[in-house]
């Protein structure tokens, strides 16, 4: 690779990265300023007034290049004023003893057409392990935690930090499965996404990004060796290793992981699932990150850049355009909603300008566009039906991937397979008495007022303005209340009830709904610790609802409704019309109920309220005490 080509590639990359930074700045003006400039400054200074201060710091910590970065130095007086620092001069003091952070990078949607108001910002903080001893690593962690606390309190965008060893990135080793990481599920798939989507916040340029020559093949290892030997007279690059291919088992593992994430964010995951299916079917072809990089670096004079979100979207639509017409139209609609595009709106943003070329090639009708622009105001049933349609497509993709990979052994560890399998079951598996989970296309749905009515001994809950089909129906009103609360579609006060002869009042429905939410919250599979999926099932919380629909004047109330949640995040509702049946169920469940948090609910207008509560507590104690002794 000639020096001239190397220098030209570096020039183009920096122009491209600046293009990405500008997109980020336009889409998130305040947050981007803090992440692009304030973050590297806070990491590179150590002043008591600045978030990230470590009082016993022996060796300074700094981001490579931050102390001489003109954009950061220009903003430093503003930063000092922000934290009431009156000290004269710069806090960015170069030192020969410094522990350098090699670079700070985003991965994913930030600074692309796919960034939306709900996007989070995943940031890799890359270090060389040899540069940090144990004490310096602790100080770096402390610094990052303190900065994150400040960011969480002051930025709208959720920001997550991942400290990465450059050596681990070279080996595609991204650690165990946890809330934000994909552990053994991705490896080279994650590295491919990083190279394709990364935005450099501060620090060194990934050497891979300039490993391209339009006139012939470039051997990455030889380039890295020459660079290390000083052949290019440059010190601005970081060697994160090459990426030549991704094995089928890794794509399969990534698809499993992505399907797992789709359980809570189906619209956000649909593009990635389509992409993974495309990559599996096209296995053996040039990697998408190579195609993207080469398209950026092959330019010569007037640079016209695609962002990776646009590039990926076009690749996906190109691949699927031969699919059946209805499915392809739905895919286009999902893409339009996923990227938050609004053509024909009064305010035209950078996003619409960037997306226009793609949707000129794959057009939506004017009627489709206006309908999708108003998606936030669709009736709840239409929104939920769209979510079901997305999920059906996700399942279809998943089954297609599984069929393609039936002879491939997944690269996931057995532990990760257990976690993902049980997490999938939590959201998808149908069990007796379990509250089924709604697959929401968006987090914020157009929630209506609900009306409770009873027909032929069955309670039905209808959304206002839509009496064609109930949102939920059951012989047990407690099940109906639990269903709308657990699925996060209940709003306190927005509930009505038709006239009926039952003793249940509208106020008691509201009271019980409020109690259920206080005890169990709403369904959130991401809020379950991963370790829980490796343990046997056990009940963590239960709410005993006493004679909710029965008469309230009698002392001998024996009807129980048991709402309980297990450690895997599943919620169940069981109804018993006698103490004996209630006792028999708990005893037959054995150790599952040991250590359970227990709550009680009975209508306040019951004459014997205190007596019935006390009696129920004694009953529960009598049942659970022998079981507890068995575990000792």
From the CB of residue 155, how many other CB atoms can be counted at a distance below 10 Å? 18
**Over the stretch 576-615, which tens digit does the pLDDT of each residue have?**
888 888 888 887 877 788 888 988 888 765 555 566 667 6
3-state SS class at 628: helix
Q: Which residue has the tokens 């007596």?
A: 611
Long-range pairs for 25-31: beta carbons < 8 A, 24 or more residues apart: 26/349, 26/350, 27/111, 27/115, 27/349, 27/350, 27/351, 28/115, 28/156, 28/157, 30/155, 30/156, 31/121, 31/155, 31/156, 31/157
Task: Answer whether 461's CB lies under 8 Å from 480's CB.
Answer: yes
The full DSSP string for 525-554 is GGGS-GGGGGSPP-EEEEEEEESSSS-SS-
pLDDT of residue 443: 76
Task: Answer whether 480's CB lies under 8 Å from 473's CB.
Answer: yes
Pairing of strands 121-127, 103-107: antiparallel
List the structure tokens of 574: 């069981």
Pairing of strands 450-455, 237-238: unpaired
Task: Please identify every stretch of the chain with a pLDDT value under 70, giving residue numbers as ranges.
Answer: 1, 175-186, 405-413, 550-558, 604-613, 615, 619, 622-632
Taking the CA atoms of residue 155, residue 522, residue 532 and residue 388 in that order, the dihedral angle to the nearest 10 degrees is: -100
First CA to last CA across the chain, in angstroms?
70
3-state secondary structure 392-434: HHHHHHHHHHHHHCCCCCCCCCHHHHHHHHHHHHHHHCCCCCE
Give the global pTM. Answer: 0.83
Backbone phi, psi, residue 218, to 5°: -115, 125
User: For residue 207, which of 180, 185, 235, 233 has the smallest C-alpha distance?
Assistant: 235
Calpha distance 275→479 (Å, rounded): 39
pLDDT of residue 398: 80
3-state SS class at 233: coil
Calpha distance 97→232 (Å, rounded): 26
- State how far the alpha carbon of 210 is from the alpha carbons of 26, 112, 238, in Å: 27, 21, 11
**At 573, which helix (H) or strand (E)?**
strand 571-576
Tell me how many degrees the CA angle 10-14-20 measures, rounded to the nearest 5: 145
């Amino acid at each position: 690779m000639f020096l001239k080509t190397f220098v030209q590639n570096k020039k183009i990359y920096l122009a491209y990265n600046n293009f990405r930074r500008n997109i980020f700045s336009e889409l998130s003006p305040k947050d981007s300023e803090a992440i692009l400039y304030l973050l590297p400054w806070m990491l590179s200074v150590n002043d008591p007034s600045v978030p990230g201060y470590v009082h016993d710091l022996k060796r300074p910590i700094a981001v490579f290049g931050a102390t001489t970065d003109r954009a950061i130095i220009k903003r430093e007086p503003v930063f000092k004023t922000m934290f009431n620092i009156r000290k004269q001069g710069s806090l960015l003091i170069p030192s020969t003893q410094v522990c350098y952070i090699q670079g700070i990078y985003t991965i994913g949607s930030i600074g692309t057409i796919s960034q939306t108001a709900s996007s989070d910002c995943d940031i890799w903080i890359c270090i060389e392990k040899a540069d940090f001893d144990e004490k310096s690593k602790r100080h770096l962690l402390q610094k990052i935690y303190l900065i994150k606390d400040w960011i969480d309190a002051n930025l709208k965008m959720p920001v997550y930090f991942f400290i990465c060893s450059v050596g681990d990135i070279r080996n595609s080793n991204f650690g165990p499965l946890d809330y934000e990481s994909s552990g053994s599920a991705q490896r080279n798939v994650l590295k491919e996404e990083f190279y394709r989507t990364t935005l450099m916040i501060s620090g060194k340029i990934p050497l891979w990004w300039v490993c391209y020559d339009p006139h012939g093949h470039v051997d990455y290892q030889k380039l890295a060796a020459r660079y290390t030997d000083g052949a290019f007279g440059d010190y601005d690059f970081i060697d994160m290793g090459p990426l030549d291919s991704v094995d089928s088992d890794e794509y399969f593992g990534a698809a499993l992981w992505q399907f797992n994430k789709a359980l809570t964010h189906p619209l956000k995951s649909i593009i990635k699932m389509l992409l993974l299916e495309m990559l599996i079917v096209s296995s053996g072809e040039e990697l998408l990150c190579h195609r993207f990089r080469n398209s950026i670096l092959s330019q010569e004079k007037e640079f016209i850049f695609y962002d990776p979100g646009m590039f990926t979207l076009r690749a996906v639509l190109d691949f699927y355009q031969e699919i059946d017409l209805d499915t392809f139209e739905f895919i286009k609609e999902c893409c339009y909603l996923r990227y938050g595009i609004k053509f024909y709106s009064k305010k035209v943003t950078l996003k619409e300008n960037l997306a226009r070329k793609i949707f000129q090639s794959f057009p939506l009708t004017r009627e489709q566009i206006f309908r999708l622009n108003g998606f936030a105001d669709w009736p709840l049933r239409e929104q939920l039906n769209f979510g079901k349609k997305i999920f059906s497509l996700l399942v279809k993709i998943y089954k297609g991937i599984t069929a393609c990979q039936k002879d491939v052994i997944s690269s996931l560890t057995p532990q990760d397979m257990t976690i993902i399998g049980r997490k999938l079951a939590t959201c998808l598996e149908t069990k007796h008495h379990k509250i089924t989970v709604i697959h929401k296309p968006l987090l914020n749905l157009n929630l209506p007022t609900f009306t409770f009515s009873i027909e032929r001994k069955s309670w039905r809950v209808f959304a206002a303005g839509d009496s064609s089909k109930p949102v939920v129906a059951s012989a047990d009103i407690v099940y109906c209340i639990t269903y709308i609360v657990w699925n996060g579609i209940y709003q306190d006060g927005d509930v009505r009830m038709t006239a009926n002869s039952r003793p249940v009042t509208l106020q008691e429905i509201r009271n019980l709904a409020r109690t259920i939410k206080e005890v169990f919250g709403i369904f959130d599979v991401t809020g379950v610790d991963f370790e829980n999926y490796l343990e046997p099932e056990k009940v963590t919380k239960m709410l005993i609802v006493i004679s909710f629909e029965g008469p309230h004047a009698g002392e001998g109330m024996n009807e129980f409704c048991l709402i309980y949640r297990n450690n895997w995040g599943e919620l169940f509702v069981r109804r018993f019309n006698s103490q004996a049946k209630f006792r028999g169920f708990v005893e037959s469940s054995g150790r599952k109920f040991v250590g359970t948090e227990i709550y009680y609910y009975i209508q306040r207008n019951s004459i014997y309220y205190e007596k019935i509560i006390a009696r129920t507590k004694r009953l529960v104690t009598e049942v659970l005490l022998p079981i507890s002794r068995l575990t000792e």
